[in-house]
Amino acid sequence: MYAVIRTGGKQYRVQEGDLLRIEKLEAEVGQEVVFDDVLLVGEGDTIKIGSDIAEGSIKAVITEQARDKKIVVFKKRRRKNYRLTKGHRQSFTAVKIGAIGA
């Protein structure tokens, strides 16, 4: 059984037991979260969409709250003596998908 959920402005295809990195959630490690925005649930050839899964939810457990690797943002305008270097580290939440309820 698999499902497509929406969280943090992105869509993810998940199955039971998947480990997933999503946008940061305000919760602690070990806490259970429920994703209510389920777009699709499928099993084999059977697919449920829209009002068929209006009350569907996915339970997950938070395994990690961390920050990703640093990326370097470098801007330069040639012949103008303009150089700008900035860095960015995105925060993320790692979750382990548990029960998929349709």
- What distance in Å separates the CA atoms of residue 72 and residue 70, rounded to the nearest whole number? 7
pTM: 0.82
Domain positions in the chain are 2-65+95-101
Query: Does the pLDDT value for residue 38 go beyond 80?
Result: yes
DSSP symbols for 12-81: EEEETT-EEEEE--S--TT-EEEE--EEEEEETTEEEEGGGGTT-EEEEEEEEEEE---EEEEEEETTTT
Q: Model confidence over 48-74: pLDDT tens digits?
A: 888 777 778 899 999 999 999 999 999
